[in-house]
Structure 1
Amino acid sequence: MFRHEGAKPKIVAISPDEFLFRLRDLECIKGDGNWRIGQQLAASHVLFVVEKGRGRLMLGKDEYRLHQGAVYICPPGGTYGAEADDPGELKIFLFKFDVFRATDQGCERVQNMEREDSFPLKGAITPDDQLVSLCEEVFRHWHSGDGLERFRSQLIFQELLYRAMKSRSLLSGESQTALEAAKNYMERYFNENLTIEQLARIAKISPKYFVDLFKKTYGISAIDYLTELRLNKAKELMAQPNARLRDIAHQVGYHDEFYFSRKFKKKVGIAPTVYMKRRRRKIAAYRTPVIGQLLALKMIPYAAPLHPKWTPYYYKLYRTDIAVHLSAYRRNLHWESNIETLLHARPDVVISTDELDAEEKERLEQAGPVFYVPWEKIGGSNCY
């Protein structure tokens, strides 16, 4: 994610007829008592189509709601994972496919999403009623066992992609629909007095259609999504020293602090004053296993290593509660930058496992008081 900043290549829309597609694999995943897709790296493009049920999908660091008719694409090199709200109800078609672009030298596979010729279809796609029926048809021919029928499944898959691209009305120079533009506006200006009429104008559709389309596309109403944005930001502000409830309410878009308090308690389960009291002490979890130890004591760390792939459980549930995110990539590979982050965060106390080498311990102890937990007593390498 972090790399040397240079001039970013501009991503431009390429005519769809310049691309070639080949389906590599297809699964129809039905829920059971333990249904989930662990966070994993996509070696090819991955298309998700939800036939029924509800759940959550992580694409990179973004979280989406799975619901009937929802359609998402993960590009190669991205990460994805999913889980169901009610495992017995969820049914998803999962397509893995390659994208090629015709050039003067032949065909080359499209893999780098920051190149100018990258395939623009990714992220959330406005649902199309015909997609699910096409999924059933592709699946039937793909698993027929006959080579000619499998060839036919490739043709029907082209139709499926056509329907997805048809519903994906691209804005000028960007891989975003007008609906996504309104959603992005909400994410940027959630603290303002936003109205459905204003958001509908951004999406260039009527207010009634905006309400229906937003709920159908994202599985949550626009108002509920705005509330989530505001409360997540409020949680971040509550972790700051000397934070005042009235100021926080105003900063996230609520002029009435009592209304904000009622909203917060309804969504989070505890009053904001109680939440702030629990967050008052800035405790940093330096290693991943420490997070679980703190949570068992009902203590949410101020800083902790988080990553959607390497620590998916903690990332999903606590990323908005933990103010400072340290790198969790491959057993603390970036320990030097993590310590630099802690030096700036100035935690009251740091808790770490004790298997660090002398240099790392010496640097870590510059960030504040450090308490070490014996590594072998909390499960050793099994904690990763």
Structure 2
Amino acid sequence: MIVTGGNGTIELEGKQHNLTCGTLLCCSRTLSVSLHPQYQLHGLWIEYSTLPPQQAGANPLNNGIPLNAGSSKACTLASELLKIWEAPAQDNPFALQKLFSELLVELYRTKVECAQTSVQWLDQVLQHIETHYNEDLTRVQMAELAGVSPEHFSRTFRKATGQTFNEYLTLLRIRRAQQRILTDRPNLTALAQEVGYGEGTYLSRKFKQVVGVSPAAYHRKNKRIVTLNFNHTASLRALEVMPELGVYSSWMERLELAPSQDKLRFEETSTASLYQSVAAARPDVIISYSLTAESKLLLPVAPVIELPFMHMGWREQFRQIAAIANRVPQAEAWLSRYGELCHEANLELDRLIGTRGTAIVWEIGEDTAYSYSSSFGHGCQILYGDLGFRPPAALLEQGLQRSGYLKAPTQTIAAYPAEHIFITSIPTTHEGLEQFSALLHSSSWKELDAVHNGHVYQLHQPDLFYGFDPLSSLAQLKMIMQTITSQIYIV
């Protein structure tokens, strides 16, 4: 198995491991494996047999360590292999076999190279600590797991992490305790046992050594918050809280919701500069989507609260962030006002159109269009969640609810008819606009009921509809209602 994107977990012989881009699994089919995808996990899973059959453990790829880090070349070869598997080249009948052999050679080279470096055993040890931090772990045990002497283990571990084994284990336990305090109100004694300490007083003492205040004081204090995406920044701004450092969308900046300084553009930031910027903000907590590598990187700075994308609606995320910021009453008041607006909007739609029917939102790029489920936002959480419209059957048949979105060539989107069609963005290049114009003048488009009934709406607000947060949802609700009631029609 070669992971080429997303993340998840895999259970090998009863032990869980994280999966990220580049993770490589090589094992015999007798190994007990259970895969748990989380955020858009994708890659290649190959099962193959050797002729003549090899004895157990004789395969050179199965060196006793099934899970490790692969190479970028392996990911590229895996992607090319899948492409040729799905669309064989008639003029190159052995391309698949050639790529498969190249992939096996690259996987073997990677595994041999990893086995010869301390990175291999260090990653294995860190993963073991991550999974078993609440157990009675010792330096000697970890050295035995790594297959090196305790002295060599200590030198390498400190050089890689900047901390001794005991310091790292204590920090990890305290960060887990902080995460639980931020998202729940656990009993101190139960929390101590949960993170690997025998009693609450010992946890409290260790907590104060690392954090500077007691667990109770940490829960009560007004926290310095850093947000690593603009949806969570917008949730704080809806609560009238300004993060110490945050990511802001261009839509938020136009509304003057962003400060002139202390802004973070996460997609443009290197790993080193991300750490420096976040550390300089001296946060008490960092809020993000699931970012395994960044969470480990920022472990020395503050606890990272990961709110899983697609598995949490914007209301649930908003409430979680409000709890972290000690703004729960304000969040409930905000949601109550939003609920009243949704109620008024539904009364208006009952009067104007009655039964809702189907609706679809399209973001149209240069040659590709995207539509989404309510779990991905983009205004669909409003249409399908708050206003009672339904996704068209053709979308559901394509697995919209499972994947969260549908990608289709622009010229084919008339194959997904809906009673109301919303277009939130259009191409910006000359070639893209020509394709879009060709779609609007095609017979398949003109035959759609939504076109005949004047229910095709061009909103052209990609920045606004990209948000999946309280402020964006409120603005999207208002724009959708204004559009439907004023009947803006594309010709």
TM-score category of the 2 structures, normalised to the smaller one: 0.3 to 0.5
Determine which structure has the larger strand proportion and give its number: 1
Structure possessing the higher radius of gyration over alpha carbons: 2
Please state which structure has a larger fraction of its residues in helix: 2
What's the TM-score once normalised by structure 1's chain length? 0.42
TM-score w.r.t. structure 2 length? 0.35
